[in-house]
């Protein structure tokens, strides 16, 4: 079923107007505000077709039209023109991110920036450990039978774990252990460490052995099994904009979903930088978020991907701007982290 150019123009106009006004748009308004060059009656015919095809719908019989998820999808895929960031926005990005003092700081600033610019809920994943390499391992004696293991990743992330040793261990041995694990593991990607850790255990004999065995399990736990992804969130207050019109009245399910880290990870995970992912309404796998749209992408230096970031908002959002902003912020953060 063909949609000629004018019908597409009408759809675009409907989306743009609806996003701007938040009210169902009628045929008359449409011809007034856009140069469509035809009469309202003609537009109405086009609308009827668009509705039949499922791109728009009427909230009630005697109301204007509203885009459906499918309509937004078509808009995003084929109709939206890229909206370049304003100089003010560019400046905001730069200003916001300079002076970040450590990784936590970078992430926090980023998520706030994103929330502020898009006026939506922003989500930023910390650089994934799975894609990081070991920069340094540190063993700090806490008592004679306890060590604290600290792992520093090249992305700046730091993980810590307490190691309960099977028996007391002299300080010199701790130094030996530290040296051993560092020699073997520094520089390798976390995902690749298991065989090396195993090798470590095999190599060691004598008094050090029991300690090394314990340490190895904690190491594996820290490096691969339990490397929790971390996530930062900001801008939940933005959900309340637009009264309760969006999200049919209840923020509940959305807030609930946003508290689940697992859910958030699914949301923004696994997209290569430069590729944008837009999930509109029903396209979301997470039921609680069927009333929202999610715009996300990966970030990282160049093509490598360190983590994901994105925003969650009403399906009725300004896609072009949002997409542009998310992309810009992702790029900026990627570059910033590359400097470490």
Site for its own copies in 216-255 (CB under 8 A): 221, 226, 228, 230, 234-237, 239-240, 244, 250-252, 255
What residues contact 177, with CB distance under 8 A and at least 6 apart? Answer: 139, 208, 211, 212, 215
Residues 217, 82: Cα–Cα separation, whole Å: 51
What is the three-state SS of 93-125? HHHHHCCCCCHHHHHHHHHHHHHHHHCCEEEEE
Q: Where are the beta strands (DSSP E) in 158-202?
A: 158-164
For DNA, the closer of residues 47 and 232 by Cβ is: 47
Backbone angles phi, psi at 127, to 5 degrees: -50, 125
Residues 275, 303: Cα–Cα separation, whole Å: 10
Give the residue from 49, 58, 77 showing the smallest Cα distance to 283. Answer: 77
The least distance separating its own copies from the CB of residue 135, rounded to whole angstroms, comes to 6
Q: Which of DNA, its own copies, none sits in contact with 140, Cβ below 5 to 8 A by type?
A: its own copies
Query: Binding marks (x or -) toward its own copies, 279..318, rule CB under 8 A?
Result: ----------------------------------------
Q: Which of its own copies, DNA, none sits in contact with 26, Cβ below 5 to 8 A by type?
A: DNA
Q: Identify the burial level of 112 via C-beta atoms within 10 angstroms of its C-beta, where 0-12 means exposed, 13-18 middle and 19 or more buried.
A: middle
If binding is defined by CB under 8 A, does position 101 make contact with its own copies?
A: yes
CB contact at 8 A, 122 and 107:
no
Q: Which of DNA, its own copies, none sits in contact with 64, Cβ below 5 to 8 A by type?
A: DNA
Q: Which of DNA, its own copies, none sits in contact with 70, Cβ below 5 to 8 A by type?
A: none
Give the residue from 146, 171, 196, 131 showing the smallest Cα distance to 337. Answer: 131
The least distance separating its own copies from the CB of residue 234, rounded to whole angstroms, comes to 6
Maximum distance among all Cα pairs of the chain, rounded to whole angstroms: 91
Q: According to CB under 8 A, which one of 24, 26, 127, 156 is a site residue for its own copies?
A: 156
Q: According to CB under 8 A, which one of 63, 162, 303, 338 is a site residue for its own copies?
A: 162
Q: Where are the beta strands (DSSP E) in 209-254?
A: 231-234
If binding is defined by CB under 8 A, does position 335 make contact with its own copies?
A: no
Query: Binding marks (x or -) toward its own copies, 113..152, rule CB under 8 A?
Result: ----------------------xx-x-x-x-----x-x-x
Q: Report the SS3 class of residue 189.
A: strand
Q: Which of DNA, its own copies, none sits in contact with 275, Cβ below 5 to 8 A by type?
A: none
Distance of CA 183 to the CA centre of its chain: 35
Residues 106, 169: Cα–Cα separation, whole Å: 39
Residue 138: CB atoms within 10 A of its CB come to 15
Give the residue from 50, 70, 66 showing the smallest Cα distance to 58. Answer: 66
The least distance separating its own copies from the CB of residue 94, rounded to whole angstroms, comes to 19
The least distance separating its own copies from the CB of residue 74, rounded to whole angstroms, comes to 33
The least distance separating its own copies from the CB of residue 263, rounded to whole angstroms, comes to 12
* Residue ranges that bind DNA, judged by CB under 7 A: 6, 24-29, 37-42, 44-45, 47-48, 51, 58, 60-65
The least distance separating its own copies from the CB of residue 164, rounded to whole angstroms, comes to 11
Site for its own copies in 251-280 (CB under 8 A): 251-252, 255-256, 258-259
Binding residues for its own copies, per CB under 8 A?
A: 101-104, 135-136, 138, 140, 142, 148, 150, 152, 156, 158-162, 221, 226, 228, 230, 234-237, 239-240, 244, 250-252, 255-256, 258-259, 340
């Amino acid at each position: 079923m063909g949609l000629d150019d004018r019908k597409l123009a009408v759809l675009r106009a409907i989306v743009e107007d609806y996003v701007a006004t938040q009210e169902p748009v009628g045929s008359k308004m449409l011809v007034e505000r856009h140069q469509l060059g035809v009469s309202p009656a003609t537009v109405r015919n086009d609308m009827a077709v668009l509705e039949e095809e499922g791109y728009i719908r009427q909230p009630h019989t005697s109301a204007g039209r509203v885009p459906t998820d499918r309509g937004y999808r078509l808009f995003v895929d084929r109709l939206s023109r890229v909206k370049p960031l304003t100089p003010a926005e560019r400046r905001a990005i730069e200003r916001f991110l300079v002076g970040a003092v450590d990784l936590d700081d970078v992430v926090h600033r980023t998520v706030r920036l994103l929330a502020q610019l898009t006026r939506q809920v922003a989500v930023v994943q910390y650089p994934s450990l799975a894609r990081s390499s070991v920069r340094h391992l540190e063993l700090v004696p806490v008592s004679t039978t306890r060590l604290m293991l600290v792992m520093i990743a090249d992305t700046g992330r730091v993980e810590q774990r307490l190691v309960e040793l099977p028996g007391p261990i002299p300080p010199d041995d701790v130094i030996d252990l530290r040296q051993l694990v560092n020699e073997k593991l520094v520089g390798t990607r976390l995902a690749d460490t298991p065989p090396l850790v195993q090798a470590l255990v095999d190599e060691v004999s004598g008094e050090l052995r029991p300690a090394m065995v314990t340490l190895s399990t904690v190491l594996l736990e820290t490096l691969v099994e339990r490397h929790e992804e971390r996530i930062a969130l900001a801008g939940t207050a933005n959900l309340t904009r637009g009264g309760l019109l969006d999200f049919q009245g209840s923020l509940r399910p959305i807030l609930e979903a946003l508290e689940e880290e697992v859910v958030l990870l699914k949301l923004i995970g696994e997209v290569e930088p430069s590729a944008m992912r837009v999930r509109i309404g029903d396209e979301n796998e997470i039921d609680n978020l069927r009333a929202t749209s999610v715009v996300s992408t990966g970030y990282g230096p160049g093509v490598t991907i360190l983590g994901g970031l994105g925003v969650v908002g009403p399906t009725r959002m300004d896609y072009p701007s949002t997409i542009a902003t998310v992309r810009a912020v992702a790029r900026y953060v990627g570059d910033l982290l590359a400097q470490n």
